Structure 1
């Protein structure tokens, strides 16, 4: 995972020495919005936008799920980068269809030649203005959730006004402890930093498992953005985070309620096709040579996402 510094690529890892061994994620560098408004510079138009994603990345996975659930696949095109993220960062197995680039960092410097920051997925690109709209997944999914409804006629709302406070509370709890918590475990470079992240992670998973005993979804009876933001971490957990990131107190399959909840979300129409466990394992075990220098990819585990979830009993 390298970065651009004033438009020049540098193959450099995160500096955990400056943070006492703790992994600290950088903020996204592009934060513009598509809006269904007359004077908006970025309007929700069919065919105008392109999404760059990795099938391995949980943050990018969110955007693929919302693209599918909101009926946007025919309106927003997409490119998938290689799962192998090595000394040039994210690369394309086939040239980028818009500009013929072979590296994602070229997309960033196309948008801003002197860009400084990490080169991450997802990237939402505007073909009309030839620039990046956003590389912040949490904001991209909200654009997909609401701003294209007039175009698609799909009014399913994963961020309803009445539940927004609860959604935000869950997001604020899940992001540091679970979504980013697994990375805080895996990328920690001191025992103390790892132990702090590990304890917070499993305390959060325990709490949510108990919560699901009396709630169908995080906010109650309605599936929301908060559930999908949690899902993309849960679906990778047993295949990658347990072993590769040392999150090995329990598997998700050891949690009766969380496992059923995970299966239910996986079985929502359109979600399974966005989930590629082979690419997920390939990326983490092959790309993180500081953690797995042999680049050997485990053949297991056996995962069960398709059997009866029994969530109808909640």
Structure 2
């Protein structure tokens, strides 16, 4: 795997996903079913993270399994933890939890990270084994789906255990697949009605926000961080912060509107404090995974250091903390240890010594 992510001009270019099927009752092969489909994710990756959040928000944690790769991506790509000799020693049900059994709520605390080697194999902490194929590498999963596949081995992967192939590896499409009401029949009755993250009356606005947030913020931090020329970096980092300013203004106006309606009742305001209208939508999910990584990683590692979210964007800062502290689907899928260790240990071109900064303290501030 090449260590370079940019073209000859020094501009970062993201790979186009290869597997683009859907899951639907009308599909000839891939039909909704409980415990048939699995998500292969990295807790560090923002694209995989939004699939995990969606799965949790849609109450599909007992319906779709999750396999978590090790946080360190070496020159062979993502790897799984080694499968124990005794298969009975792993309870498959643990994969049907919020984040595949690695619900490290305390990961916001600063750890002695220097003592953790890149080849650590702490079961349910660094990752977990592949229970379906007992593969050692994510690349083997791709090769099983398509022996001729020769691009990068990315996460998330939506896998069909019945046909033993990849359904989809494009995160924006995976979260739309999971949002389908066709899954509702498998959701436990005690979970209540399913949340629609893309309601028809808001779909146009959600799509519009997603489009410029993806190009300029989600992918913008990568364009700045992986730029291999000063000209490219300066162009991209300026564009990134211009668009963060844009989001800040949207959230400021949302807060002012809610304040006029609910006065000083902060709890009531935060209940409706979202990017689009008064409800949580896909637009919030897609922005969150970048913003929650911003201060712990992107400021220093990707040189996105005009300011931090906590110091420069009061409304964006309130918004991200509200999602994290007031919604388990966001908090329990956010693992700061995986996030920080992955970025700082997996990009030798950017951080050749592999030293992981301990700050900021704390990784996310209280609400």
CA–CA separation in structure 2 for the residues paired with 1:14 and 1:111: 26
In the alignment of these two chains, the number of paired residues is 296
Larger relative contact order (CA 8 Å, sep ≥ 6) = 2
1:262, 1:305 within 8 Å by CA — same for their partners in 2?
A: no
1:47 paired residue number? 35
2:302 paired residue number? 245
1:272 paired residue number? 331
CA–CA separation in structure 1 for the residues paired with 2:142 and 2:363: 38
Gaps of 5+ in 1: 1-10, 309-314
Answering whether residue 67 of structure 2 is matched by residue 79 of structure 1, we say yes
What's the CA shift for 1:12? 1.6
What's the CA shift for 1:192? 1.1
Structure 1 residue corresponding to 2:253, chosen from 203, 214, 233: 214
Please provide the CA RMSD for this pair. Answer: 1.3
CA–CA separation in structure 2 for the residues paired with 1:72 and 1:94: 26
Look up the SS of the partner of 2:252 in the other structure.
coil
CA–CA separation in structure 1 for the residues paired with 2:341 and 2:361: 16
2:321 paired residue number? 263
What's the CA shift for 1:306? 6.0
Gaps of 5+ in 2: 84-129, 255-272
1:36, 1:148 within 8 Å by CA — same for their partners in 2?
A: no
CA–CA separation in structure 1 for the residues paired with 2:218 and 2:329: 22
1:118 paired residue number? 152
Question: Could you report, residue by residue, the CA deviation over 1:169-214 in whole angstroms, capped at 9, with x for unpaired residues?
Answer: 1011100110000000000001111111101100000111111112
CA–CA separation in structure 1 for the residues paired with 2:353 and 2:3: 18
Question: Could you report, residue by residue, the CA deviation over 1:214-250 in whole angstroms, capped at 9, with x for unpaired residues?
Answer: 2132212121101110000000000000000000001
CA–CA separation in structure 2 for the residues paired with 1:304 and 1:295: 19
Look up the SS of the partner of 1:125 in the other structure.
strand
CA–CA separation in structure 1 for the residues paired with 2:358 and 2:38: 33
CA–CA separation in structure 1 for the residues paired with 2:150 and 2:316: 39
CA–CA separation in structure 1 for the residues paired with 2:218 and 2:249: 18
Question: Runs in 1 of length 4+ with deviation above 4 angstroms?
Answer: none
1:149, 1:155 within 8 Å by CA — same for their partners in 2?
A: yes
CA–CA separation in structure 2 for the residues paired with 1:258 and 1:303: 17
Answering whether residue 48 of structure 2 is matched by residue 13 of structure 1, we say no
Distance 1:81 1:304, change over 3 A: closer
Larger radius of gyration: 2
Structure 2 residue corresponding to 1:191, chosen from 199, 214, 230: 230
TM, length-normalised to structure 1 = 0.91
2:353 paired residue number? 294
Question: Could you report, residue by residue, the CA deviation over 1:240-287 in whole angstroms, capped at 9, with x for unpaired residues?
Answer: 000000000011112110100001111213321100001100000001
Structure 2 residue corresponding to 1:132, chosen from 143, 166, 183: 166
CA–CA separation in structure 2 for the residues paired with 1:15 and 1:204: 23
Q: Which moved more, 1:145-154 or 1:224-233?
A: 145-154
CA–CA separation in structure 2 for the residues paired with 1:14 and 1:287: 12
What's the CA shift for 1:40? 3.8
Answering whether residue 25 of structure 2 is matched by residue 36 of structure 1, we say yes
